[in-house]
Homo-oligomer: A and B are copies of this chain.
């Protein structure tokens, strides 16, 4: 690595380990390292970049901390993948009131490609005229319909998805995005509100109009901070709750 000579005095100085981290992040973003891949070993990377193993370790530590990499002692360092566990513990906060986390089943109601609305363009950072693929689905917990969910995906990144058979769409979409479109969701922001069930919600969830629902507005983010998905989930929290830890 070019130590950018005079590493410290330089005006736009970044610590070496952050430079290493950036390099790895770039390779992840460019899909040179794909989900599930084994990275070069620490001594190997240290040699390749001309830094000490400790510096590599520190860079990897941060990436592991961000759940982008996974280490296995004796085996190596791997690019993180969306396993069921990760879906369950990181991206699915809805929990049975008894404390059990369950992976919901999904039934796709509709799948289509459309012109984007202003709101979609805002959430997904699309240009005017950008198209979206919309998915509507119902998710069941304990075989009860609990979530009524509308997703919007940027059509340019998920090209062809609209032609898939709705029944083919898997339960855990993020893994699907990874394998079919090479798009890794690494992050998401959720905004929660209490709302009231409309006729549509009521019909799909088997409840009365006007019942309170927990609305989860999520934007899922990929590498380089690119928004990959916007979903609004309206959840019947009569027997479930959204669980989160502060700190």
Contacts and interface: CB of A to CB of B under 8 A. Distances in A.
Given A93-B246, A214-B214, 4 more contacts: A190-B244, A191-B242, A195-B212, A196-B212
Interface in A158-197: 186-196
Contact of A246 (B190, B215, B241): B190
Contacts of A247: 66-67, 90, 186-188
Interface residues of A, number: 34
Interface string A223-247: 0000000000001010001111111
Contacts of A212: 194-196, 212-213
A8 interface: no
A97 B217 CA distance: 12
* A188, A191, A194, most chain B CB atoms within 10 A: A194
Contacts of A246: 90-91, 93, 187-190, 218
